[in-house]
């Protein structure tokens, strides 16, 4: 790889002597990217995995995307449609995008509204198994008004209509290439899935599934001076530590993604001086989900359901608050996440306009306070040091997925909780099973046959409406909906549901932010969830690579067209 880089570098240097490197497409030679999880496919509609969507983001693009601050940027359009500029109808049921004229596909053909319409049709096909289908939730119709105008009609008012065709997960694919790949035929179009035509800065020259992708600069890219790199490799395989090493220590690669490894090791590697560790914070929060229903095995089918009745002690807000108070979030974050984490008291910590400050008191650990609270509420310590009231002992089964950091966190919390007289039994479940959603397994995170569970969740893009909608009554997983639902705490408050409904009818950004904060605060004060760590993304880039803007709101490669080689 080194040799190739050197050769290419030399060749381009000769060809371009006297010209400033940044000003010319392909002037900077070869770019080496490593994603330790190899890309399986370049069609994000058939694989929602981050590795796949990001690999494809160098090739195919959405109409608008998010910058590193979480602001929406027009990408294949000239401006973002709003009610104010008439792009969104007054009744909030339609949005009209005007495409930038002159954009071409990498095969030289014109990019038109028909491609956008086709993409919608492709993903909304009932038999296609489109993994980004939720982006098109509520879309009634996508139509081309003319070659450069697309109108999306929703089946009701859509206050935040920026889900379809916005962000890394909803790019536009070429109608001509995928015409025969609709519905059940989608998986049979291997060639198209492995080498989609795109409007992005690169196009695929070779795709080896689960291994490596070779790109070259797209000759039809809209900005003739970009990308600076003539070719690029997107290598997969190995693990995060090896990827970090290849950028920070051996210098073989220019960019390594998702380096969730022991923070001290990462710092040590960065000490070699070849590369830089970068992080950014999106919406991921490692949190505890408190089961408000009764997980007692004796309940049989009614276990952990609303019908099974309330939890024997976690329904007491004092207990939930005490549990939260006993935690030193800063320490949890430091030990487990290093640069990739910071303590948080909100389940909705970002983007900044949505972040509440009402709950920040939880940042400080207060074991004495927690003890006092419990004492005051009548939870008194028994002979074994465990608090009890009316024969109910504070004994918690605390589950999470198998993962070294999570097990460390579990151990810390168990220690702190023991100091406030709460007994904790730890359990960890293989991630594949825990998150797998297998109906027959009792260990899924949805069934929550435990008192407390811990995992991270987030939302894509910047709009929290759908995310905050996770905790309405209808989202409670139960046997009748095959345990499909995301309201793990089984939290059910009509007031919360009302706020969620209101948000669904509000379009103005400031108002939406107020609503979201209010919902976050409700959840936090009810103690249905105990947030621990705001988790960021950590990547690393070579010191010879300029232009990286780490982005948690979109693809990390969102601005790869602007990346250049430092001299």
Partner 1 sequence: MLNYTIRRLMFTIPVLLFISFIIFLLLDLAPNDPTGNLPMTIPPEVREKIRESLGLGQPIHVRYFKWCVQFFVNEPLNIIDQMFGTCTWGCEDRLRVQSWATRSPVVDLIVERMPQTLWVVGMSYVVGILIAIPIGVISAYRQYSWFDQAGTFVSMVGFSVPTFFTGVLMIVIFSVMIPTDSWFWFPSIYDTTHKVTDLASFGFQIRQMAMPVFVLALYNAAQISRFMRASMLDNLNQDYVRTARAKGMRERVVLLVHVLRNSLIPVVTVIALGVPQVFGGAIITEQVFKVNGLGQLLIIGIQGADIPLVQTLTFIFAVLIVLFNLIADILYGILDPRIRYD
Using CB under 8 A as the binding rule, the residues of this chain from 251 to 270 that contact partner 1 are: 251-253
Output the smallest distance, CB 440 to partner 1, in A: 8
DSSP string, 406-456: HHHHHHHHHHHHHHTT-EEEEEEE-HHHHTT--TT-TT-TTT--SSEEEEE
Output the smallest distance, CB 433 to partner 1, in A: 5
Considering only CA atoms, which of 223, 229, 226 is closest in space to residue 9? 229
**Contact between residue 154 and residue 93 where contact means Cβ atoms under 8 Å apart:** yes
Which residues have C-beta within 8 Å of that of residue 368, sequence separation ≥ 6? none
DSSP string, 172-211: ---HHHHTT--GGGGGG-HHHHHS---SSSEEEEEEETTT
Looking at 71, 180, 190, 525, which residue binds partner 1 (CB under 8 A)? 190
Whole-number Å distance between alpha carbons of 407 and 429 = 11
Output the smallest distance, CB 97 to partner 1, in A: 23
Helix (H, G, I), strand (E, B) or coil at 129: coil
| By the rule CB under 8 A, 246 interacts with partner 1 | yes
Question: Using CB atoms within 10 A of its CB, is residue 213 exposed (0-12), middle (13-18) or buried (19+)?
Answer: buried
| By the rule CB under 8 A, 280 interacts with partner 1 | no
Output the smallest distance, CB 39 to partner 1, in A: 9
Binders of partner 1 among residues 452 to 481 (CB under 8 A) are 456-460
Binders of partner 1 among residues 1 to 20 (CB under 8 A) are 1-4
Binders of partner 1 among residues 223 to 242 (CB under 8 A) are 233, 235-239, 242
| By the rule CB under 8 A, 408 interacts with partner 1 | no
Helix (H, G, I), strand (E, B) or coil at 512: helix
Whole-number Å distance between alpha carbons of 490 and 207 = 44
| By the rule CB under 8 A, 482 interacts with partner 1 | yes
Q: How many residues bind partner 1 (CB under 8 A)?
A: 73
Whole-number Å distance between alpha carbons of 105 and 342 = 42
Whole-number Å distance between alpha carbons of 173 and 44 = 10
Site string for partner 1, 346-385 (x = CB under 8 A): ----------------------------------------
Looking at 12, 446, 555, 559, which residue binds partner 1 (CB under 8 A)? 446
What H or E segment, with its residue span, contains residue 393? strand 392-393
Binders of partner 1 among residues 125 to 184 (CB under 8 A) are 127-134, 169, 184
Output the smallest distance, CB 47 to partner 1, in A: 7
| By the rule CB under 8 A, 536 interacts with partner 1 | no
Looking at 180, 208, 309, 364, which residue binds partner 1 (CB under 8 A)? 208
Binders of partner 1 among residues 423 to 442 (CB under 8 A) are 430-433, 435-438, 440-441
| By the rule CB under 8 A, 193 interacts with partner 1 | yes
Site string for partner 1, 115-134 (x = CB under 8 A): ------------xxxxxxxx
Q: Please identify, using beta-carbon distances, which residue of 176 and 431 lies nearer to partner 1.
A: 431
Looking at 22, 24, 48, 318, which residue binds partner 1 (CB under 8 A)? 48
Residues forming a β-bridge with 17 = none
What H or E segment, with its residue span, contains residue 162? none
């Amino acid at each position: 790889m080194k040799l190739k880089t050197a050769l290419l570098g030399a060749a381009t240097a000769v060809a371009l002597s006297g010209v400033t490197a940044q000003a010319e497409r392909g002037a900077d030679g070869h770019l080496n990217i490593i994603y330790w999880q190899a890309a399986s496919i370049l069609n994000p509609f058939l694989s929602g995995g981050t590795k796949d969507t990001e690999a494809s983001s160098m090739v195919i693009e959405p109409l608008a995307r998010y910058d590193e601050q979480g602001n929406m940027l027009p990408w294949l359009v000239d401006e973002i449609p709003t009610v104010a500029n008439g792009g969104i109808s007054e009744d909030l049921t339609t949005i009209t995008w005007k495409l930038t004229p002159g954009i071409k596909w990498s095969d030289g053909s014109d990019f038109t509204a028909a491609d956008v319409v086709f993409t919608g049709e492709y993903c909304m096909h009932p038999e296609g198994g489109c993994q980004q289908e939720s982006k098109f939730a509520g879309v009634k119709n996508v139509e081309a008004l003319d070659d450069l105008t697309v109108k999306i009609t929703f089946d009701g008012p859509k206050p935040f209509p920026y889900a379809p065709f916005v962000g890394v997960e909803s790019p536009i694919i070429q109608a001509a290439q995928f015409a025969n790949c609709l519905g059940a035929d989608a998986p049979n179009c291997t060639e198209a899935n492995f080498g989609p035509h795109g409007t992005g800065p690169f196009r695929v020259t070779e795709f080896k599934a689960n291994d490596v992708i070779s790109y070259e600069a797209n000759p039809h890219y809209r900005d003739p001076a970009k990308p600076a790199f003539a070719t690029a490799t997107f290598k997969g395989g190995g693990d995060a530590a090896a990827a970090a090493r290849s950028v920070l220590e051996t210098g073989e690669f220019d960019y390594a993604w998702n380096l969730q490894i022991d923070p001290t090791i990462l710092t040590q590697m960065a000490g070699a001086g070849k590369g830089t560790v970068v992080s950014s914070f999106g919406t991921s929060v490692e949190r505890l989900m408190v089961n408000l229903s009764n997980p007692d095995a004796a309940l049989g089918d009614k276990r952990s359901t609303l019908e099974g009745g309330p939890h024997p002690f976690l329904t007491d807000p004092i207990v939930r608050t005490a549990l939260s108070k006993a935690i030193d979030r800063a320490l949890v974050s430091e030990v487990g996440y290093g640069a990739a984490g910071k303590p948080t008291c909100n389940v909705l910590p970002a983007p900044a306009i949505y972040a509440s400050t009402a709950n920040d008191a939880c940042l400080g650990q207060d074991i004495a306070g927690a003890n006092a609270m419990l004492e005051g509420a009548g939870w008194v310590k028994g002979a074994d040091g465990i608090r009890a009231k009316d024969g109910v002992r504070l004994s918690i089964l605390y589950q999470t997925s198998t993962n070294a950091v999570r097990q460390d966190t579990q151990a810390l919390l168990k220690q702190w909780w023991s100091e406030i007289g709460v007994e904790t039994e730890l359990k960890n479940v293989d991630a594949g099973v825990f998150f797998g959603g297998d109906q027959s397994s009792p260990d899924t995170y949805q069934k929550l046959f435990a008192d407390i569970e811990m995992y991270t969740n987030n939302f894509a893009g910047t709009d929290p409406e759908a995310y905050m909608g996770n905790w309405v009554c209808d989202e409670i997983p139960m046997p009748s909906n095959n345990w499909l639902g995301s309201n793990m705490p089984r939290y059910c408050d009509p007031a919360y549901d009302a706020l969620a409904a209101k948000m669904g009818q509000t379009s103005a950004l400031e108002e939406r932010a107020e609503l979201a904060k209010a919902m976050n605060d409700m959840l936090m004060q009810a103690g249905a969830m105990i947030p621990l760590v705001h988790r960021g993304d950590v990547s690393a880039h070579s010191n010879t690579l300029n232009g990286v803007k780490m982005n948690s709101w979109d693809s990390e490669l969102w601005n790869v067209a602007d990346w250049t080689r430092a001299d």
